[in-house]
Amino acid sequence: MSVEKVSVVIVQLRYQYRIALTPGQRIRAARVFGCRRVVWNDALAVQKLRKASNKLLGNPKARLAEGPYQPVPKNAELGKTLITAAKKSAEREFLSDAPVGVMQQTLRDLDGAWKAHEDSKTGNRRGPKVAPPRFKSKKDNRQTARFTRSDRFSVTDGGRLRLPKIGEVRVKWSRDLPSAPSSVTLIKDCSGRYWVSFVVETDPAADMLPPTDRDQGIDLGLDRFAVLADGSQIASPKYLRRAEKKLKKRQRELSRKKKGSSNRDKARIKVARAHAKVADSRRNFHHQWSHKLTRENQAVFTETLNVRGGLARTRLAKSVHDAGWAQFVTFCEYKAIRRGRSSAKVARDFPSSQICSACGYCDGPKPLHIRAWTCANCGTRHDRDWNAGRNVLHEGRRIRAADTTAPPTPGPGASRR
């Protein structure tokens, strides 16, 4: 059994805020999104063509000897032809509606998309396969544009954000930016709301908390969101099911609207809004609890989730989705790193429901409907989820004690039961 550790040190953080655009700013934002899309599509067309023709020429050495091999152009070259020169042509004149930095960033983003695709093919990238970059459509629901330092965006004395080619934008500052941002991404989400997301580099030491001797094991569940090793519970937020009726109604309305009609567009936005609302409240809930748990404990141990497997069992799918465990675990991980605390997942095959957390006796798997049982060895009466939470805690501590590369932890030893 092993612990999957997260070893990234985060120094770049994202801070996202809602913004309000005037009608004029919306039009200008749409133009910036449009320029970005055109540059992306033009560059992708060139790259695809080159890649396809090179592929026909066979192996790299042969094609160099052949002559006609043309390397896929680099960003500098693409920038010259597709941005600088294109602006002077009649059909691409409109590219001057967007800051140059935004369009250059688009080329870098495209590079990133290719790299993700290629790395996932060669196995350099974990997780599911990534498709090659696609052409962007005007109808894509989510639009983004990233302004870099070279674009000279700034925050005015009055607290407005000045974005080149768009104007001074009113921002809902829900929390303070810790330092000057290195870039800002303008986002229009699928429900038509506008956001800005700043990338901020922070000194990781500023968020560090002093060490504590408390650890926590977490059993994530369906009827209760989580049961902790100390016996406390986090009730399950059933936002999704509560909002489901409304969603269903909106969806029915959408399906009745004629395709391509403006009424259908309106209905689609209503559906997206209802979805977004659920996702927002769920995210807040996860932020609150991961914040609290990583603040109060030196280590937070969870089970390794099989989200895909979980979703496959359709009867449970809704609840699994509702609970959004994966997001919660990710939040715990990054908050722990930020604060000098730790988080770890016990192995997927760890039998958290089979072991007695009092004496360690293992009496094999139990069907899901068994919520409580008495240990045949020591006679302790167990709540299934609480017992699992305690086992996750014990297992996490055991692995931490065995891991000689981990920093020493203060307080009671790992064998405390």
Q: Would you tell me which residues interact with Zn ion (CB under 5 A)? A: 356, 358-359, 361, 375, 377-378, 380
42, 303, 322, 333: the catalytic one is: 303
Q: How far is the CB of 116 from Zn ion (least distance, A)?
A: 48
Cite the DSSP H helix spans in 80-208.
86-87, 100-122
Q: Closest CB to Zn ion among 49 and 362?
A: 362
Q: Is 66 a catalytic residue?
A: no
Q: Are strands 299-303 and 342-346 parallel, antiparallel or unpaired?
A: parallel
Q: Is 219 a catalytic residue?
A: yes
CA 263 to chain centroid? 32
Residues in the chain: 417
Q: Closest CB to Zn ion among 64 and 362?
A: 362
Q: Closest CB to Zn ion among 64 and 378?
A: 378
Intra-chain end-to-end CA distance of the chain, in Å: 19
CA distance 345 to 343: 7
Q: How far is the CB of 402 from Zn ion (least distance, A)?
A: 23
Q: Which two tokens stand for residue 126?
A: 């974990």
CA distance 392 to 5: 15
Q: Is 395 a catalytic residue?
A: no
Q: Closest CB to Zn ion among 75 and 380?
A: 380
**AA letter at 391:** N
Helix axes 100-122, 23-56, angle to 10 degrees: 40
CA distance 249 to 309: 29
Can you spell out the DSSP letters for 332-393?
HHHHHHHHT-EEEEE-TT--TTTB-TTT--B-----TT--EEE-TTT--EEEHHHHHHHHHH
CA distance 34 to 408: 53
151, 322, 385, 395: the catalytic one is: 385
CA 296 to chain centroid? 24
CA distance 335 to 293: 9
CA Rg, the chain, in Å?
A: 26
CB under 8 Å to 239, separation ≥6 — which residues?
Answer: 278, 281, 282, 285, 322
CA distance 378 to 358: 8
SS3 label, residue 20: strand
The set of catalytic residues is: 219, 303, 385
